[in-house]
Amino acid sequence: MTLFRQLLALILLSLTLSLAGALWLSFDNSREFLAEQLTTDIENASVSMAGALQPHLDPLQPVLIESVLKAYADGGFYQQLEVRLFGSELSWQEQRTVDFHGVPAWFQGLELLPQVERSVVLSSGWLQYGELTIIGHPGMAYRTLWQTFIQMLSWFAALTLLLVLVAAMGIRRILKPLQQIQHVSDQIRQHQFDQPITLPKTPELRSVVEAINQMAQQLQRDFSESDQRQQQLKDQAFRDPVSGLGNRRFFNQQLQAWLQQEPRGVLALIKIPSLTQRDQQSFVERDKAIARASQLMQQRCAGVADAVLCRLGLDEFALILPGQSIEQSRALLEHQQQALLELFASTELPVWIGACWINHSGSVAEVMARVDQALQHARSDNNQQVQIHTDSREVAQRSELVTMLQKAVEQGAVSFSKQPVKLLGDQQLVHYELFARLEFPVGTLLPAASFMSTLDEYELGLRFDQLAIKLVLAQLEKDPGQSVVLNLSAASLKSTAFQRWLALQLQQHVDVLPFFGLECSEETVLYNKAAVISLVQLLREYGVRFGLDRVGRNFSSMTYVQQVRPDYVKIDAAFTQSLVASPQESVFLTSLVSTIRALSIQVLAVHIEDEEQLQQLSHYRFDGYQGFLHQPEPFFSNTLQHGEKA
């Protein structure tokens, strides 16, 4: 029982006993008064009736005696009237049935009022003729006493209710600081720190609140320092101090991780000779020029989800554009070149960009050789200083792909596979992550990585997310019991109508929501934080799990994780894949995992492909893992005939 209820019960019990005692005394006084009143009425009636009967006794007039008895019996509250003559067997009697008129039997059975009986001798002078016996009728007294009891009970109930309300309000006001302490304690447990609690006037509670406020402030400082430490470790290991971009080490990790994930997109090298010329100037001026160029390129890439921009050397930068089409990449790279030329217009030096289209896995060395070749072509071709090497068949198949995607989305021809996410140690299943593939009439299965950029380019991403959610929820209705998670695209979060649509879907499938979850990437959160926070609030109302993917990929503070409060996060694959190859990175990874775990958020590793990597995880406090150590398996397929619609 809560402290509030204990105090309320104690106060209510004390007040109830006091009030019940006072009301009982009042009720008992009323009972005694009615008993005395009943006795007095009988005594008065006996005297009056004796006087009325006396003239009819000598000479004896039976008819008049009987008339007097009837008159008194009909006009008063008497149960029995009897006249008995001495020395004779003559007697007259009038009886009336006792009717309590609405007084319950249990109340009558309490015998709160005595039965009043009075006998008087009928005489004339010294001569005694007989005896008059009167037994009172308690019906009226019981009715009066019952009405008094009901009124007192009503007052008792009303006063009790009033006392409960007043006591509850008073106790709540007194205990408000304790409620705030409980709320703040829950937030502290989750590493959420709001405004400090207002100090109460009660001295005992004031000292407690001061201690809680100081503890919250200290924990906030500790978390901020922990976040800063892991950020510093990450900057030292993976960030170029001059440009603020990722360094070559970070680039190699990201490129290797991307190439192992069914890559589809563009990799580019950007050469800025103007920065080399500035090597003849002061280091300060050169560093300022590098910082300006880096900031400019970051701004141009801000709208590209999952883009990775790194500085590889003095005048060389690398750019990974996952999911971007050839046309999208060419337009972006040409804008990059034009902006850089304008920035360094005074040097009159060119900007060379070499890129290659990647649509299959490969080694880092092989891909870098292709990109370097494209860069050399850009340097040797003054008319085309932005070179993108690609297979000519890719361009020819572009329009065909768009048509096929539109038809597949329209018909709902989607297939899903699932990959388990398990806890370390007991290997308990956390959930399955679902991977979508579009099915075409010719039997081709196209993975999501191959078409998501095209969907976004042609504004089909939102429709695809809605289709996937509807199909998965419908499948869970048919076969519940498997916890599954779907990835959301940035297009859905940018849509103001998506959350309203999602709320309606969740309302229609309440029974299966414990088995359903959504997740999105870190980049999506950073660029759509308000929308993601609103989405998380909606999902929590319906008990739907939410997770973040690729956490740690960007050079951003973990405060966004604290604000979003996901149920779990997945550390970027580039870090987990390098555990075995680069044990020296363990300091940063340990700090990152510890910072997130301090928020009571589950931390998962991804792309775990062998037992060696799995063994390494136990040293870094990961909660669970996912990867090709457990191969994806079919979940369900929604293959429809041509012309049908989902």
Same domain for 261 and 362 = yes
pTM assigned to the model: 0.64
Task: Quote the DSSP letter at residue 558.
Answer: T
Q: Are residues 224 and 260 in the same domain?
A: no
Q: Which residues contact 476 (CB under 8 A, 6 or more apart)?
A: 482, 484, 509, 512, 515, 516
CATH number of the domain enclosing 514: 3.20.20.450
Rounded to an integer, what distance in angstroms lies between the CA atom of residue 14 and that of residue 20? 10
Cβ atoms < 10 Å from Cβ of 261: 14
- 304-324: average pLDDT: 88
In a domain, 644, yes or no: no
Pairing label, strands 484-487, 516-521: parallel
Nearest one of 193, 135, 125 to 598, comparing CA atoms: 193
Is 469 part of a structural domain of the chain? yes
For the record, the structure tokens of 183 come out as 């709320």
Looking at the 3D structure of the chain, how many domains does it have? 4
Tell me, yes or no, whether 451 and 585 share the same domain. yes
Closest CA relative to residue 12, chosen from 179, 173, 152, 156: 156
Residue 167 lies in a domain: no
Q: Are residues 118 and 253 in the same domain?
A: no
pLDDT at 581: 58
Q: What number is the average pLDDT over the span 388-412?
A: 69
- Tell me: do 101 and 131 sit in the same domain: yes
pLDDT recorded at residue 78: 78
pLDDT band of residue 420 (cuts 50, 70, 90) is very high
- The answer to whether residue 392 scores a pLDDT higher than 70 is no
Q: Which of 360, 395, 430 is the last residue of a domain?
A: 395
Domain that holds residue 567: 397-637
Please check whether residue 174 lies inside any domain of the structure.
no
Question: What pLDDT was estimated at residue 640?
Answer: 45
Give strand pairing partners of 445: 439
Residues 382 and 339 in one domain: yes
Same domain, 503 and 420: yes
The pLDDT assigned to 353 comes to 93
Are residues 335 and 405 located together in one domain of the fold?
Answer: no
Winning range, highest mean pLDDT, from 260-264, 522-526, 640-644: 522-526
Q: Work out the percent of the chain whose per-residue pLDDT is above 70.
A: 89
- Nearest Cα residue to 41 out of 78, 74, 83, 81: 78
Whether 184 is in a domain gets the answer: no
pLDDT at residue 223, as a whole number: 76
- Whether residue 371 sits in one domain with residue 253: yes
Give the CATH number of the domain where residue 301 resides. Answer: 3.30.70.270
Is the separation of the CB atoms in 576 and 605 below 8 Å?
yes
For residue 198, what pLDDT is reported? Answer: 75
pLDDT in tens, 493-534: 888 899 999 999 999 999 999 999 999 988 888 888 889 999
What integer pLDDT is reported at residue 499 of this predicted model?
92
Q: What is the pLDDT of residue 23?
A: 78
Ranges 201-215, 237-251, 575-589: which has the least confidence: 575-589
Same domain, 27 and 68: yes
CA distances from 315 to 338, 352, 365 (A): 17, 11, 21
pLDDT in tens, 476-493: 999 888 899 999 988 888
- pLDDT band at residue 66, thresholds of 50, 70 and 90? confident
The whole-angstrom separation of Cα 64 and Cα 68 is 6
pLDDT confidence tier of residue 580, bands split at 50, 70 and 90 = low
User: Any idea what the CATH number is for the domain that residue 90 is in?
Assistant: 3.30.450
Q: Does 349 fall in a domain? A: yes
For residue 646, is it within any domain? no
Domain stop point among 361, 395, 429: 395
State phi, psi for 10 to the nearest 5 degrees: -65, -45
pLDDT band at 407 (very low <50, low <70, confident <90, very high): confident
Name the domain boundary from 366, 395, 424: 395
DSSP label at residue 451: H
Give backbone dihedrals phi and psi of 607, rounded to 5 degrees, phi first.
60, 45
Secondary structure tally for the chain: helices H, strands E: 22, 19
Given a contact cutoff of 8 angstroms between Cβ atoms, the answer to whether 297 and 309 are in contact is yes
Residue 586 has a CB neighbour count (10 Å cut-off) of: 15
- Domain annotation covers residue 171: no
Are 143 and 209 members of one domain? Answer: no
Greater pLDDT, 322 or 441:
322
Q: What is the mean pLDDT of the chain?
A: 82
Same domain, 483 and 347: no
